[in-house]
Chains A and B, each alone.
Chain A
């Protein structure tokens, strides 16, 4: 599939991943690779700018925690982030339903 088309939905992808469970940057990258093996990988160059942007918008919050004996910055969705995720999820589901209907019209 065209990997570029996913880049426009990066924020929703990150919010959805963090809705599953709080994660630090590397764990998030591995989780996304596992969930979307056919799509592009979220390396350090994409993950951290996105996470910090979401943190500035107060959609996620980062805290230093001990993970496996090392200090890591773990990101969690805030209440505002959960609301935003739910709203974007509904929007996306409505969009996907409409597009599926349109592209499956008899030609």
Chain B
């Protein structure tokens, strides 16, 4: 293999984006100049190893596709469990369990978008990949919603014609997915030193746990309070909580995540100063 052939193959399979990309290419080019025998090694394997090092577990398009498929499968499973519990059983499912399932249904795709957005932010051709990823996950969500709707296994009651509702579903899914993913990609570019990459998963888990916890705790506490003290005021509080459940869960998740991010940043700075 000639030097140019080696570099062409290497650059083709290197998914790391700028500014790191230029550095990596320069390093390998200099190495090949100093040691021409290195041209016999595998440029594709080298590119993949560097992708894995710099991009983490989602270091290729195929892994992002697997993420989308697994999230869609979990989403569908959780949704089918919820539908079964609501429509097929004679007894009402425990409220907390149904709330957790409902939460999983709502937030799994968002978690997938955050993880993928962050992985894509440091890749080459990041905007092209964002577009592909958004189309893929939108298509999966739309296919899922349409199949539920047309098979009559949906919890949603149609108020408009099926065709109009289908187009609205497509537009809505695409808009939500693209907004969330673009936001995460934008937030992650150039800000990688704010929170170390390996801590991003910690923050995502923090968000999920605190949002679920806030949701369950808020509803459970108000249920308990209204159970002991039932009057107009407590009933109004309960109605308010039920009406703002998702908002409160999001607020709890975001607030907790910000506190955790500050704590991680403080720890990181404290460690660097100690060095």
**Which residues of chain A have a CB within 8 Å of any CB of chain B?**
24-26, 29, 43-45, 48-49, 52-53, 56, 70-73, 78-80
B-side interface size class: 20 to 34
Contact A53 B45 (CB under 8 A): no
Q: Which residues from 8 to 36 on chain B have a C-beta closer than 8 Å to any C-beta of chain A?
A: 23-24, 26-28, 30-32, 34-35
Contact A49 B275 (CB under 8 A): no
Complex: A78 Cα to B271 Cα, angstroms? 13
Contact A43 B54 (CB under 8 A): no
Q: Main SS of the interface on chain B?
A: helix
**Which residues of chain B have a CB within 8 Å of any CB of chain A?**
23-24, 26-28, 30-32, 34-35, 38, 41-42, 45-46, 49-50, 52-54, 275
- Given A25-B27, A26-B35, A44-B31, 10 additional A-B pairs, CB 8 A: A26-B30, A48-B27, A48-B49, A48-B50, A49-B46, A49-B52, A52-B54, A71-B26, A78-B275, A79-B275
Least Cβ–Cβ distance between A50 and chain B, in angstroms: 9
Shortest 10 CB-CB contacts between residues of A and residues of B: A49-B49, A26-B34, A45-B41, A44-B38, A45-B46, A52-B53, A44-B31, A26-B31, A43-B41, A79-B275
Closest Cβ neighbor of B196 among chain A residues: A56
Contact B28 A48 (CB under 8 A): yes
Across the interface, B28 reaches (CB within 8 A) one of A44, A71, A78, namely A44
